[in-house]
Amino acid sequence: MTLPLGPVMLDVAGHALTDDERTRLCHPLVGGVILFARNYDNPAQLAALTADIRTLRLPALLITVDHEGGRVQRFREGFSAVPAMGVLGKAWSDDPVAGCQLARDAGRVLASELIAHGVDLSYTPVLDLDYGVSRVIDDRAFHRDPDATIALATALIDGMADAGMGCVGKHFPGHGFVEADSHVDMPRDARDFDAICAQDMRPFHTLASRLAGVMPAHVIYSAVDPRPAGFSPFWLQTVLRGQLGFSGVIFSDDLTMEAATEAGDIVARAEAACVAGCDMVLVCNRPDLADTLLSRWQPEVPPTLSERLCALHARPCADSVCPGSAAYNQAKAQLAALAERTRRA
């Protein structure tokens, strides 16, 4: 089926597609799939699932996953253990050069293994700063220091690019300063714009040209805008597009999260995110809401969207770093050694 990619990203329930999911994924508004741990049993099963998704339509749906490392690694047995980004931050504090090399190793291993199993894109790196207070960010962040975060994220992005994968920076303009978890609450950050710009936004500003995508935070920055960043034209259009010059794809965070409900029902949430500047909206873990959105939402889809999403398809994994290559084996060994040092510490 030839059908341009649309602005909705959906999930699926299990290890293989159901007939209902095949129908849902062929809806004109759908442009991609996000996978979770529940979609993984073993490497062969994952490769079969992604191959099945690719055969549904042309161009192929974008296949994505939250596969950051540490506690946010969806595929485990049969995949390399990627360290939490905070572990890389501690390595950087001990030795910046070695820390950055480990970050590049992590990017190579992470991306090459995903590409080998049919995944196009991981929602990483986390560019939030680690203020030591956020329940949801914690060691998912590289470091408290913006310069360390920029250096490590650059190395991780380089490693992913070595393998053939783009990256998605999150959670713009910064989620690390607030304690509340936006999955179950509405976080509020009372700092003014200059404070956020001077610290949290620096990684996004420096890396804007390197990011294939950006995911905004479900956080209200109350001194700046009464709306969460993902529903704010100021944050997404004036700041991210205008001031930072970001030209990639803006993905909403999951519109079924508690912090997204302030925008209304699922159609109102999708519309608000789209009007604010999101190119693609995520609807996860609620197939009923996905069906409601697909049946009721009637957005004006830019004719260029499909081409921009297709640009995010992973390239075939480079032979020099693909699983089994000397560079891959060396990177994997370095990560295993880091894990052992961390365990002993």
| Residue positions forming the annotated binding site | 66, 74, 140, 170-171
| Residue ranges of the binding site for substrate | 66, 74, 140, 170-171
- For residue 61, give every residue at least 6 positions away whose Cβ sits within 8 Å of its Cβ, in sequence order, or none: 5, 25, 30, 31, 32, 33, 53, 54
Whole-angstrom distance, CA of residue 22 vs CA of residue 28: 12
> To which residue do tokens 């500047």 refer?
277
Helices (H) and strands (E) in the chain, counts: 12, 12
Catalytically active residues are 183, 253
DSSP helix/strand/coil, 54: helix
φ, ψ for residue 15, nearest 5 deg? -85, -15
Non-local (6+) Cβ contacts of 238 within 8 A are none
| One-letter amino acid of 250 | I
**125, 157 in Cβ contact below 8 A?**
yes
